[in-house]
C-alpha cells in the first residue's frame, strides 16, 4: 500500500475530529491533544504492522457495506498472536 495515501487518509480522518473549541477532558488533555496522540499512535502502528493494517482495511471495507445494509455479514478480524 502507498504510505503517502495511508498518511493522507489517517490525517484527514483525525483532523476532522479536532474541534474549534478545544475543551479540556477529564484525562487532563485537551480534545485536540488527545486526537493528535491517537493520530500519531495509529500512524506508528500502521508502519510497524503493515500486514495487519491491510487486514483492517479489508475489514472496514466490508463493515461499511454492512452498516449500509449492502451485506448481512460482519467480517471477522484475525486476532494478534
Average pLDDT over residues 48-77: 94
Specify whether 37 is located in the same domain as 64.
no
Specify whether 63 is located in the same domain as 39.
no
SS3 at position 21: coil
pLDDT band at 75 (very low <50, low <70, confident <90, very high): confident
Specify whether 43 is located in the same domain as 65.
no
In this predicted structure, what is the pLDDT of residue 6?
97
Specify whether 7 is located in the same domain as 44.
yes
Domain of residue 29: give its range: 3-48
pLDDT band at 81 (very low <50, low <70, confident <90, very high): low
Specify whether 38 is located in the same domain as 9.
yes
| Summary mean pLDDT of the chain | 95
Give CA angle at 72 (70, 74), nearest 5°: 105
Give how many domains the chain has, as a whole number.
2
CA distances for 42 relative to 7, 49, 81, angstroms: 10, 10, 19
Amino acid at each position: 500500500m502507498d504510505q503517502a495515501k495511508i498518511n493522507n487518509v489517517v490525517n484527514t480522518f483525525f483532523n476532522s475530529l479536532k474541534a474549534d473549541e478545544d475543551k479540556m477532558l477529564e484525562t487532563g488533555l485537551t480534545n485536540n491533544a488527545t486526537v493528535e496522540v491517537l493520530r500519531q499512535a495509529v500512524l506508528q502502528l500502521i508502519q510497524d504492522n503493515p500486514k495487519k493494517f491491510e487486514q483492517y482495511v479489508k475489514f472496514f471495507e466490508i463493515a461499511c457495506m454492512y452498516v449500509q445494509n449492502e451485506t448481512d455479514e460482519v467480517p471477522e478480524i484475525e486476532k494478534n498472536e
